[in-house]
């Protein structure tokens, strides 16, 4: 686990060692335990290590025994032990990185399709002079790239790419997507020219600078209704969850679990505690502002029932001012809502006890847990309504589906509609719910939820593993028809049935959902800088870029405490977060947070040097 980066230079150019050092410095929070660099003909790689497996020997960048391949890996390959037994290779370490190197040496780049786990890697083939950028199937770990004069740079996080080449500008064509979703779908970002490697894709860069993108995995189509009996589905998902959690426990450091009040995290913790036996698991939950938070009470109850060592964390509004810019710098993007603050508070506390935590992220996107999935059929049908009726319900539908600004509001703010080439293509599926689940798997999960989890945990030098996103369990989930997920008014039906032998009904079928934090109160008590000046003043980037009249009206309504229009505070937060992001990356250079401990430099590495 850690941070990876590098530069590919064409036409006989040389990689500047200073550039690699600066990239490494920007990634130290991802891997404070060790660092290393490697340079070859026109290629340079850097790696910052968060030691999780084989702490002593698996140093990177790592060369294959025959010298053909050079690899930097961020992540964990949970099936590395089983793959090792199938490879005839002179292993010198017990880590997963050397298994990747060995497999590449024997099978070539297609070997990445045999990897299980969460990973982003760069593999340079010295024989063909091709550099491969590869991201895991679900997009759990990030990987970005950009064209620079004479070459291409790549790194785990955007901030490392800002040290190479000219200063970037804002990608104004991505603003519409941000205002619609709180995030920008891959491959784009808010930075002009900086791209994300898409989940389940590899991007190959040849010596002449040509880029070839290949998708190596897609979730399967749903099986027809009647293919699965309810009991068979429950048994298969139960087995899949148990094996996914078992695989996620691979580590040479202590492993804990998050309890966030949702079913996925409770089930993950329950399976983990069952696998650990009498050894109590460290579990963690977070409350925003008040110890009376419903989610905290639910998490505490689960911890008591499972017999874990439960830790409660509280983050208060007065901390927001000091965290806003810091977390924006770590996120590489506007912080989407208070969940970013909560995720950092959790990671910061968990790092005092463990090196890895398991989360339940992805359970709702796999098994139809969000309330909006019950709304999917109506949302699709509304698109077929006559134009006058469709325009009347469009705003309500979009807000219900989670849009901070409706399409009409975005048009007024930007003065234009979404660029045609930036509109996401509709997902194909068997029904409206299935299509929404597939869309979320492609975009909302990796570009929003997993990005938040990765950046906020790495800000505390902690590894988070979303155990339920083992791709074999994902494949099973998408084979199951919607009738086994959203059923009789219940979301996540099959997952709830899997949980019944492990958890009480009060956890599986809560009578009410957790309370939502008072966003207006957080902004009032946590942000000392005036929102009006920041969004409408002469120095405001948002005020200069978006329609000032619309922005001013939003600020007016917030200051009056106007709640007649829903989600005024969400929209104001969205704009304040955007302004803070611009200040952070295009204003005065931010102060780099100090790593947990100083990294130690490494000599030019071999397989186990």
Map 1-12 to HEC letters.
Answer: CEEEEEEEECCC
Residue 84 DSSP class:
H
| 69-77 and 62-63 strand pairing | antiparallel
d(CA 533, CA 251): 49
Q: Is 286 annotated as a binding residue?
A: yes
Identify which of 45, 121, 54, 120 has the alpha carbon closest to the alpha carbon of residue 84: 54
Burial 178-208 (b: 16+ CB within 10 A, else e): bbbbbbbbbebbbbebbbbbbbbbbbbbebe
The residues, any chain, with a CB within 8 Å of residue 145's CB and separated by 6 or more, are 133, 152, 153, 154, 155, 161, 194, 195, 197, 203
413, 553 in Cβ contact below 8 A?
A: no
Half-sphere exposure of 459 (CA within 13 A, CB side): 29
d(CA 528, CA 521): 12
Q: Is 96 annotated as a binding residue?
A: yes
d(CA 192, CA 167): 10
Map 365-384 to HEC letters.
Answer: HHHCCCHHHHHHHHHHHHCC
Phi and psi, residue 67, nearest 5°: 80, 5
48, two tokens: 């910052």
At 144, which helix (H) or strand (E)? strand 144-148
d(CA 157, CA 154): 9
Q: Is 382 annotated as a binding residue?
A: no
Strand extents, DSSP E, 458-568: 463-466
At 359, which helix (H) or strand (E)? strand 356-359
**How many CB atoms within 10 Å of residue 520?**
16
251, 52 in Cβ contact below 8 A?
A: yes
Phi-psi region of 129 (alpha: psi -120 to 50; beta: other; left: phi over 0): left
d(CA 258, CA 268): 9
The three-class DSSP label of residue 421 is helix
What DSSP letter does each residue of 185-196 carry, written as one string? Answer: -TT--SBTTEEE
Strand extents, DSSP E, 57-116: 62-63, 69-77
Burial 491-507 (b: 16+ CB within 10 A, else e): bbbbbbbbbeebbeeeb
The three-class DSSP label of residue 279 is coil
> How far is C-alpha 92 from the geometric centre of its chain's CA atoms?
33
Which residues are 45's β-sheet partners? 6, 38
Q: Is 393 annotated as a binding residue?
A: no
302, 313 in Cβ contact below 8 A?
A: no
Q: Which residues carry a binding-site annotation?
A: 96, 286, 359-360
Q: Residues comprising the binding site for ATP?
A: 286, 359-360
Binding residue numbers for L-glutamine: 96
């Amino acid at each position: 686990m850690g941070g990876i980066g590098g530069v590919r230079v064409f036409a006989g150019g040389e990689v500047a060692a200073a550039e690699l050092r600066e990239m490494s410095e920007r990634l130290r929070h991802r891997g404070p335990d060790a660092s290393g660099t490697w340079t070859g003909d026109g290629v340079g790689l850097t790696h910052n290590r968060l030691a999780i497996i084989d702490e002593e020997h698996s140093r990177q960048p790592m060369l294959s025994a025959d010298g053909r391949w050079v690899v930097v890996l961020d992540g964990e390959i949970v099936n590395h032990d089983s793959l090792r037994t199938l490879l005839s290779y002179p292993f010198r370490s017990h880590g997963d990185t050397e298994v990747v190197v060995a497999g590449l040496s024997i099978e070539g780049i297609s070997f990445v399709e045999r990897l299980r786990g969460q990973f982003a890697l760069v593999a340079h083939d010295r024989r063909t002079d091709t550099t491969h950028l590869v991201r895991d199937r679900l997009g759990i770990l990030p990987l970005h790239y950009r064209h620079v004069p004479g070459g291409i740079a790549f790194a785990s996080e955007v901030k490392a790419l800002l040290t190479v080449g000219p200063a970037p500008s804002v990608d104004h064509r991505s603003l519409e997507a941000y205002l619609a979703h709180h995030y920008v779908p891959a491959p784009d970002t808010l930075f002009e020219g900086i791209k994300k490697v898409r989940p389940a894709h590899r991007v190959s860069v040849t010596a002449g600078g040509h880029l070839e993108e290949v998708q190596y995995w897609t979730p399967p189509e749903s099986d027809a209704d009647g293919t699965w009996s309810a009991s068979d589905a429950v048994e298969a998902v139960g087995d899949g969850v148990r094996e996914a959690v078992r695989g996620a426990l691979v580590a040479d450091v202590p492993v804990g679990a998050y309890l966030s009040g949702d079913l996925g995290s409770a089930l993950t913790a329950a399976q983990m505690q069952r696998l650990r036996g009498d050894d109590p698991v460290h579990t963690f939950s977070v409350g925003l502002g008040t110890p009376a938070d419903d989610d905290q009470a639910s998490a505490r109850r689960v911890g008591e029932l499972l017999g874990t060592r439960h830790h409660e964390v509280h983050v208060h509004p007065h901390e927001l001012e000091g965290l806003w810019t810091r977390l924006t710098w770590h996120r590489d993007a506007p912080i989407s809502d208070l969940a970013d603050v909560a995720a950092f508070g959790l990671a910061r506390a968990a790092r005092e006890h463990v090196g890895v935590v398991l989360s339940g992220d992805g359970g709702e996107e796999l098994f139809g847990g969000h309330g909006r999935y019950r709304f999917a059929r109506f949302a699709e049908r509304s698109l077929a309504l006559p134009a006058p009726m469709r325009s009347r319900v469009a705003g309500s539908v979009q807000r219900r589906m989670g849009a901070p600004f409706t399409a009409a509001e975005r048009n007024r703010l930007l003065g234009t509609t979404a660029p045609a080439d930036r509109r996401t293509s509709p997902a194909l599926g068997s029904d409206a719910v299935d299509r929404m689940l597939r869309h979320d798997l492609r975009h909302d999960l990796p570009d929003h939820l997993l990005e938040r989890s990765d950046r906020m945990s790495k800000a505390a030098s902690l590894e988070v593993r979303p155990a339920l996103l083992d791709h074999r369990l994902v494949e099973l989930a998408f084979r199951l028809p919607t009738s086994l997920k959203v059923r009789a008014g219940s979301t996540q039906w099959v997952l709830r049935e899997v949980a019944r032998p492990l958890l009480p009904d009060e956890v599986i079928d809560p009578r009410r959902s957790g309370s939502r934090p008072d966003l207006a109160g957080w902004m009032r008590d946590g942000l000392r800088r005036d929102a009006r000046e920041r969004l409408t003043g002469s120095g405001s980037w948002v005020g200069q870029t978006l329609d000032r009249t619309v922005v001013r009206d939003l600020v007016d309504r917030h200051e009056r405490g106007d709640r007649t229009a829903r989600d005024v505070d969400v929209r104001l937060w969205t704009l304040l977060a955007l302004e803070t992001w611009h200040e952070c990356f295009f204003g005065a250079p931010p102060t780099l947070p100090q790593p947990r401990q100083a990294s130690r430099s490494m000599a030019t590495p071999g397989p186990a040097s």
